[in-house]
Chains A and B, each alone.
Chain A
């Protein structure tokens, strides 16, 4: 538990790790295995430890051959190309390539820290070749890392948010942490910042998104507030990544404000049409295949009035996608459906009617870009267009669901932070989401956040341990 007894205020630790997710734990374990004394400060209560790692499921690492848990080889070059594709070529190439090379070791290293993977089941997602799935998911992975950390004698404190950092000209001196209503000074020779982004900080999101951010749902815990990131940027650490970028998907509007996790996602956009609160369509629902279509809809809905939209489909599509948490809203006619959604029935009927009139015959294939499309409809639906005509009719209300942000601190090839003048920080390292923006400037490829977290965590932990002993 989060006892104060696991923390000795008079001790100067070799390495202070701020954060409690995958990157933080990898850093802590790597540093400890190098012989350093380590304190981990997790701001969240024990149950919510681990930030976004709680909700992840898999990790994308390069590997040369098939394994028990991966169906085929995935070369460094291929992973790099996938990264270029999702970021549109905007990445720190030397760092990205270095991390991808390191990723090959990381799957095995994680296994050595007690992390288990699921045998390739074939299952629900087509990621069996590129991604290793954690047995039991991200929380199981975290549990394994925390058990290992405790066995290694790493001190861990929960409910211990860092409220201030004393940084003198690129040199970390101490941190202030609060626990149980009291403030404590924590001294350490090196700092590893692995405290995530600011996706749960609505006020900060509003700086870029305006009032729309009030209507965002946050898929992870309410503890990812970016406090440490802001303190580092204020202390002269160089910024990286686009602050307006965040990974946003369209999730069920009925999801809780925070921590709804994976089960509120909806992957049925492709099977119907999406209308906004004015009951009109606003984007080509059949533009691209999963996962791109999945990743763009959060931003699209964020740009609509009141940040709400409705996926509308009919009985023929009901069982074509993964079950989700909430049942669809259903009605025997489009008109009645509009009533339940509080949309203008006449406009919705016209929208659906116009869409149906534009549908051209084709051969439906939801696994690939098929030839079912519309003509003379604005916006068009380029693929998977089928008439919405088989009662009953269904709808899911959707809102933007924010997974993580891209703004971060700049680091070099050792995961050491860089100051605004380009000089490396004396004793400060960064790992995970707080520095992911160096590599991942926008877009997303499933599992790559975990790769960046584990690899940078290990790099930062080793670097910090070495630094502390010099």
Chain B
């Protein structure tokens, strides 16, 4: 249907990549959007786009939608330029393309939420069954004081289970990131730590989610709001606080010999509570934003995977906060089992879900900082 018969000297394996290539040729001959975000200046450094270039640009894109609402060639114009949607498709495909091991890349498919929930339930049931088999009274007993959690499951068993899944997640993510980096980094001169810190700053404040400071078109394609950005901040920093909470607790356990649960004013609980609140507010907001998002900007195919990750984060925080509230009651056993199940499933699915967008986006930002520094 394309009115423009544009050749490209590169061939691409997927329709999304071919469409992205077509759009980058259109955008490169216009360049009106170069002030909006990093994608367009990065594009201007190239005339031809291979798969790695397109995956790089797609992961630089924060899907703010500003370029769509600003574009004089967006649909219904015959040039049909829709950069946020096309790059979202390429980005989704890139998660699958770089996944390790490749055999598991299929997990990115639509049933992400089902897989995550089944994993969570299985582990929860396993823990419950394990406890019930050993001593049913423990499950419904009231436990207090240090080591209360470990009445259900010995600390070493817990550490082994979660340590293993954590190490697996880190390994899989590292190998995936390595494959992505190899594809996008090219022969750009190293930008050193400066590029790394620049990227950390840009990622930390979601610099490119503001449509070049004009605001991004999240809820509809006409009025800019920063809501999605704020919910994302709540989610991201909530996640980091929860991670910090777990890390501090681990240090408490091994260095100070202090066993969980801790008092409400103690550092792991304070960090975990704050993070948990962020992980309730943020994911709910992001879910709402997703359902309100202008349909023309939405890549429906990834909807399931995105939702799965957001729901798992939300369940993690909700079960964690419930555990904090109910830990001195007979319900503790069941709540703990569910919380552990959810956390286990979250870690297990991290390398095969929306979580990777943060890592790839960060690497893309590092590459962008390197290119900007090299000035080519």
Chain A residues at the B interface, C-beta cutoff of 8 Å: 47, 54-55, 57, 116, 118-119, 121, 123-124, 133-140, 143-144, 147, 254, 256, 259, 261-263, 319, 322-327
Chain A proximity of B11: nearest CB distance (Å): 15
Cβ contacts under 8 Å, A139 to chain B: 69-72
Q: Are A261 and B35 in contact (CB under 8 A)?
A: no
In the complex, what distance in Å separates the CA atom of A133 from the CA atom of B30?
Answer: 13
B279 at interface (Cβ–Cβ under 8 A)?
no
Given contacts A124-B44, A135-B36, A327-B7, 18 further A-B pairs with CB under 8 A are A57-B32, A116-B212, A116-B214, A118-B34, A121-B41, A137-B72, A139-B70, A254-B4, A256-B3, A261-B30, A262-B32, A263-B30, A323-B28, A323-B29, A325-B6, A325-B25, A325-B29, A327-B6
Cβ contacts under 8 Å, B286 to chain A: none
B305 at interface (Cβ–Cβ under 8 A)?
no
In the complex, what distance in Å separates the CA atom of A270 from the CA atom of B141?
Answer: 87
Cβ contacts under 8 Å, A262 to chain B: 29-30, 32
Which 7 A-B pairs give the minimum distances between C-beta atoms? A137-B32, A136-B70, A118-B35, A140-B70, A263-B29, A54-B72, A324-B29
Q: Are A137 and B70 in contact (CB under 8 A)?
A: yes
User: Pick the contact of B72 from A55, A116, A119, A327 — CB < 8 Å?
Assistant: A55
Chain B residues at the A interface, C-beta cutoff of 8 Å: 3-7, 25-26, 28-36, 41, 44, 47, 66-67, 69-73, 76-79, 211-214, 222-223
In the complex, what distance in Å separates the CA atom of A147 from the CA atom of B73?
Answer: 20
Chain B proximity of A319: nearest CB distance (Å): 7
Closest to A139 in B: B72
22 contacts between A and B (CB under 8 A): A116-B214, A118-B34, A121-B41, A123-B31, A134-B32, A135-B36, A136-B33, A136-B35, A136-B67, A138-B72, A139-B71, A140-B214, A143-B222, A147-B222, A256-B78, A259-B72, A259-B77, A262-B32, A322-B31, A323-B25, A323-B28, A323-B47
In the complex, what distance in Å separates the CA atom of A256 from the CA atom of B26?
Answer: 14
User: Pick the contact of B73 from A119, A263, A319 — CB < 8 Å?
Assistant: A263
User: Pick the contact of A325 from B26, B36, B66, B223 — CB < 8 Å?
Assistant: B26
In the complex, what distance in Å separates the CA atom of A172 from the CA atom of B35?
Answer: 43
Cβ contacts under 8 Å, A123 to chain B: 31, 34
Closest to A125 in B: B31
Q: Are A326 and B4 in contact (CB under 8 A)?
A: yes
In the complex, what distance in Å separates the CA atom of A262 from the CA atom of B30?
Answer: 6
Chain A proximity of B8: nearest CB distance (Å): 8
In the complex, what distance in Å separates the CA atom of A133 from the CA atom of B41?
Answer: 15
Q: Chain A CB within 10 Å — which of B31, B47, B69 has the most?
A: B31
Q: Are A143 and B70 in contact (CB under 8 A)?
A: yes
Q: Are A263 and B36 in contact (CB under 8 A)?
A: no
Q: Chain A CB within 10 Å — which of B33, B44, B214, B222 has the most?
A: B214
Cβ contacts under 8 Å, B212 to chain A: 116, 118, 135-136
User: Pick the contact of B4 from A140, A143, A325 — CB < 8 Å?
Assistant: A325
Cβ contacts under 8 Å, B30 to chain A: 137, 261-263
Chain B at the A interface: SS class: loop
Closest to A263 in B: B29
Chain B proximity of A316: nearest CB distance (Å): 16
User: Pick the contact of B33 from A47, A124, A137 — CB < 8 Å?
Assistant: A137
Cβ contacts under 8 Å, A55 to chain B: 72
Q: Chain B CB within 10 Å — which of A116, A134, A140 has the most?
A: A140
Closest to B3 in A: A256
In the complex, what distance in Å separates the CA atom of A262 from the CA atom of B32?
Answer: 9
Closest to B217 in A: A143
Cβ contacts under 8 Å, B72 to chain A: 54-55, 137-139, 259, 261
Chain A at the B interface: SS class: loop
Closest to A326 in B: B6
Cβ contacts under 8 Å, B7 to chain A: 327
Closest to A45 in B: B76
Chain B proximity of A236: nearest CB distance (Å): 36
Cβ contacts under 8 Å, A319 to chain B: 47
Q: Are B26 and A263 in contact (CB under 8 A)?
A: yes
In the complex, what distance in Å separates the CA atom of A326 from the CA atom of B47?
Answer: 13
In the complex, what distance in Å separates the CA atom of A171 from the CA atom of B31?
Answer: 45
Cβ contacts under 8 Å, B25 to chain A: 323, 325
In the complex, what distance in Å separates the CA atom of A55 from the CA atom of B5?
Answer: 22
Closest to A120 in B: B35
Closest to A319 in B: B47
Cβ contacts under 8 Å, A144 to chain B: 214
In the complex, what distance in Å separates the CA atom of A124 from the CA atom of B33?
Answer: 12
Cβ contacts under 8 Å, A121 to chain B: 34-35, 41
Cβ contacts under 8 Å, B71 to chain A: 137, 139
User: Pick the contact of B214 from A135, A261, A322 — CB < 8 Å?
Assistant: A135
Q: Are A143 and B35 in contact (CB under 8 A)?
A: no
Cβ contacts under 8 Å, A147 to chain B: 222-223
Closest to B36 in A: A136
Chain B proximity of A33: nearest CB distance (Å): 21
Q: Are B222 and A322 in contact (CB under 8 A)?
A: no
Contacts A136-B212, A323-B25, A326-B4 given: A47-B36 contact, CB under 8 Å? Answer: no
Chain B proximity of A328: nearest CB distance (Å): 10
Chain A proximity of B324: nearest CB distance (Å): 45
Contacts A118-B34, A133-B35 given: A143-B69 contact, CB under 8 Å? Answer: yes
In the complex, what distance in Å separates the CA atom of A147 from the CA atom of B220?
Answer: 13
User: Pick the contact of A119 from B32, B35, B77 — CB < 8 Å?
Assistant: B35
Cβ contacts under 8 Å, B6 to chain A: 325-327
In the complex, what distance in Å separates the CA atom of A130 from the CA atom of B229?
Answer: 35
Chain A proximity of B218: nearest CB distance (Å): 15
Q: Chain B CB within 10 Å — which of A57, A133, A327 has the most?
A: A327
Q: Are B73 and A261 in contact (CB under 8 A)?
A: yes
Closest to B76 in A: A47
Chain A proximity of B44: nearest CB distance (Å): 8
Chain A proximity of B61: nearest CB distance (Å): 15
Cβ contacts under 8 Å, B73 to chain A: 261, 263
Closest to B48 in A: A323
In the complex, what distance in Å separates the CA atom of A55 from the CA atom of B30?
Answer: 10
Q: Are A140 and B31 in contact (CB under 8 A)?
A: no
Cβ contacts under 8 Å, B35 to chain A: 118-119, 121, 133, 135-136
In the complex, what distance in Å separates the CA atom of A144 from the CA atom of B70?
Answer: 10
Contacts A47-B77, A136-B214 given: A322-B29 contact, CB under 8 Å? Answer: yes
Contacts A261-B73, A326-B4, A327-B6 given: A136-B29 contact, CB under 8 Å? Answer: no
Chain B proximity of A94: nearest CB distance (Å): 35
Cβ contacts under 8 Å, A261 to chain B: 30, 72-73
Chain A proximity of B160: nearest CB distance (Å): 54
In the complex, what distance in Å separates the CA atom of A123 from the CA atom of B40?
Answer: 12
Cβ contacts under 8 Å, A326 to chain B: 4-6
Cβ contacts under 8 Å, B223 to chain A: 147
Closest to B27 in A: A263
In the complex, what distance in Å separates the CA atom of A259 from the CA atom of B78?
Answer: 9
In the complex, what distance in Å separates the CA atom of A116 from the CA atom of B224?
Answer: 13
Chain B proximity of A17: nearest CB distance (Å): 21
In the complex, what distance in Å separates the CA atom of A263 from the CA atom of B26?
Answer: 7
In the complex, what distance in Å separates the CA atom of A377 from the CA atom of B44?
Answer: 38
Chain A proximity of B29: nearest CB distance (Å): 4
Chain B proximity of A158: nearest CB distance (Å): 13
In the complex, what distance in Å separates the CA atom of A121 from the CA atom of B28?
Answer: 16
Chain A proximity of B137: nearest CB distance (Å): 65
Closest to A143 in B: B69
In the complex, what distance in Å separates the CA atom of A307 from the CA atom of B69?
Answer: 35
